[in-house]
Amino acid sequence: MTVNIDLTGRTALVTGSTQGIGAAITTQLARAGARVAVNGRTADSVGRAATALRAEVPGADVIEVAADVASDEGAARTLEVLPTVDILVNNLGIFGAVPALEIDDEQWRRYFEVNVLAAVRLTREYLPGMMERGWGRVQYIASDSAVVIPAEMIHYGVSKTALLGVSRGFAKAAAGTGVTVNAVIAGPTHTGGVEDFVYELVDRQLPWEEAQREFMRAHRPQSLLQRLIEPAEIANLVTYLASPLASATTGAAVRVDGGYVDAIVP
């Protein structure tokens, strides 16, 4: 028995997809045959990511959407370029280490605007069309930090907790329509941004492999994987959830966290 994920004829938008997890998701969706929209804030970053995607997946149908979807103007620009989508992956997010008592109101607002409201806004725009057509996939890239709030960045953790509630709520709004809405709980993942974050918490003089091991030992000891997850491993689950194979999975928070969250029930 083989598993064949075929997204031919489907259009996917992955927000914040010029690098890291987002770029890996666009690659996997394109390999499955989807028409993929690469999104970032600048035309240069989007162009570079789109060129890399076309080289990685020859023949890929790629749309370039240069817009800051965390703003009203950027969301409007995205809708102009891409009026309808079949698959919406709300991947855009920011993170950083700040002591809890030093997170000011402006930082709290910024994290809510980027990590939560941007996803809510796009869902509100695209979900009705999916429901009318009787097929669609909406996903939110959450984090283990949604469940295990990290002491060094509670504003980030709380924003990801909010996404779990947003996902469940919109899944209820789409009940019985053929559209699924899910959150993906990603564990500690190896990206360029995370490398910078790791070196904020461990000795910058350590070689990367040693720094990673020290970070996992000191700051993420719950991980059963005992290593950082690769972006493609996150993308594999996202691609499955975007496919017809996942038609009965909705309203869920699905974990690809390396066993980081200490729970039996997902």
C-alpha dist (Å) from residue 56 to 5, 7, 27, 53, 100:
18, 17, 7, 5, 41
Of 111, 126, 140, 156, the active-site residue reads 156
Is 199 among the catalytic positions?
no
Classify strands 87-90 and 11-14 as parallel, antiparallel or unpaired: parallel
Task: Give the CA angle between residues 118, 7, 230 to the nearest 5°.
Answer: 65
Label residues 144-160 b or e (16+ Cβ within 10 Å = b). Answer: bbbbbbbebbbbbbbbb
Q: Using alpha carbons, select from 116, 119, 117, 191 the residue that is nearest to residue 160.
A: 116
Catalytic residue annotation? 156
